[in-house]
């Protein structure tokens, strides 16, 4: 798999992985659509932990069109 983490935020508690999505969805559809990206964010999280030796404390998708976030 190949990909680029859109945003990685370092906090005192650990790392947050944030990925932006341009899917044409409504706010109600974002949770269901997020499931399609779960594996991608899991892999991003594992890679960031291994490289930076820091704990992942959250993985979030931000759907641009409805302006909604979903934790995965």
pLDDT value at position 6? 98
pLDDT tens, position by position, 13-52? 999 999 999 999 999 999 999 999 999 999 999 999 999 9
| Chain centroid to CA 37 | 8
Domain range summary for the chain, segments of one domain joined by +: 7-71
CA distance 29 to 8: 25
The pTM of the full predicted model, rounded to 2 decimals, is 0.90
Q: Which residues lie below 8 Å from residue 63, measured CB to CB, with a gap of 6+?
A: 21, 23, 25, 30, 33, 69, 70
pLDDT value at position 1? 72
The Cβ of residue 71 has, within 10 Å, a number of other Cβ atoms equal to: 11
CA distance 65 to 55: 30
pLDDT value at position 2? 81
């Amino acid at each position: 798999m190949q990909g680029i983490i859109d945003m990685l935020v370092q906090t005192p508690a650990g790392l947050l992985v944030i990925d932006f999505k341009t899917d044409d969805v409504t706010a109600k559809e974002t949770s269901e659509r997020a499931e399609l990206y779960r594996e991608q964010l899991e892999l991003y999280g594992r890679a960031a932990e291994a490289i930076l030796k820091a704990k992942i404390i959250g993985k979030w998708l931000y759907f641009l069109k409805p302006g909604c976030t979903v934790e995965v």
